[in-house]
């Protein structure tokens, strides 16, 4: 009997240690109208109920995927990894957009500088080639130089609506003026003009020669021409002749 009591006491002590709720609820043990009032309970019914619950538990366990928690852990890990990569991509996107915006701004500034300089030289060169006339590069109807630009030409005080209103020679001077204005913006070591005055009047040829002298003082030009108006403005003349089937050059 003594050993049984010792065993019982050890078991109670073990239960008190494992189940901490016993110490807080033991005052209610056997008290009526509490969860621990077992007078109206039948041990047999309780055993049957426990058996049914156990069977139900075993049945549910057969339908439960025991690997689900491990799978959930793997999925959560992949999800967290993807979210981390997503944040990296989003941050990179913000940086890229900032760089694009900065480059767009620099592009607009560079284009605005080029437009103003070329436009100024374009008008000056055209007025030299065709005295009394004016020309300019204007922003397109959208008022945005990035979208496009259009020619505006005035003969006297009349601004032409379209280049088709100009003669062929006048259109040639517009094109030549724009090309030379762009060359002033980005100078080259030497320029070669091959009979650019072929379809122009003699007065226009003379004006081209004068324009090269005034606008390109520090540039070198090799000009091929058959008209005296161009020769008169040259620093050095080379004359070519074809004699007896042989080309000769004299200075």
Assigned CATH for 73-186? 3.40.50.300
The answer to whether the CB of 242 falls within 8 A of the CB of 221 is no
All structural domains of the chain with their residue ranges = 73-186, 187-251
Assigned CATH for 187-251? 3.40.50.300
Q: pLDDT tens string for the chain (251 positions)?
A: 567 677 777 887 788 888 877 778 877 777 777 777 677 677 777 788 888 888 888 787 777 777 777 788 888 889 999 999 999 999 999 999 999 999 999 988 898 898 889 999 999 999 988 898 899 888 776 666 677 788 888 888 888 888 888 888 888 888 999 999 999 998 888 999 898 888 888 888 888 888 888 888 888 988 888 888 788 888 888 888 888 888 888 88
Quick check: pTM over 0.85?
no
Fold match between 73-186 and 187-251? Answer: yes
């Amino acid at each position: 009997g003594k050993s049984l009591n010792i065993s019982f006491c050890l078991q109670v002590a073990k239960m008190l240690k494992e189940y901490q709720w016993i110490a807080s609820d033991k005052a209610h043990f056997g008290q009526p109208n509490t969860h621990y009032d077992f007078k109206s309970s039948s041990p047999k019914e309780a055993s049957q109920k426990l058996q049914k619950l156990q069977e139900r538990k075993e049945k549910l366990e057969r339908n439960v995927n025991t690997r689900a928690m491990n799978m959930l852990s793997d999925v959560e890990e992949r999800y967290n990894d993807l979210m981390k990569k997503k944040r990296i991509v989003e941050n990179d996107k913000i940086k890229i957009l900032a760089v694009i915006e900065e480059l767009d701004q620099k592009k607009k500034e560079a284009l605005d500088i080029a437009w103003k300089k070329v436009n100024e030289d374009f008008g000056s060169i055209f007025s030299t080639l065709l005295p009394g006339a004016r020309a300019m590069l204007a922003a397109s109807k959208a008022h945005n130089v990035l979208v496009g630009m259009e020619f505006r030409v005035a003969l006297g005080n009349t601004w032409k609506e379209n280049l088709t209103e100009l003669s062929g020679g006048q259109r040639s001077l517009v094109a030549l003026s724009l090309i030379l204005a762009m060359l002033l913006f980005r100078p080259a070591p030497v320029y070669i003009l091959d009979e650019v005055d072929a379809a122009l009047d003699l007065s226009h040829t003379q004006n081209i020669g004068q324009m090269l002298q005034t606008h390109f003082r520090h540039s070198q030009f090799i000009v091929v021409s058959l008209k005296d108006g161009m020769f008169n403005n040259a620093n050095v003349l080379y004359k070519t002749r074809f004699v007896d089937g042989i080309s000769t050059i004299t200075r």
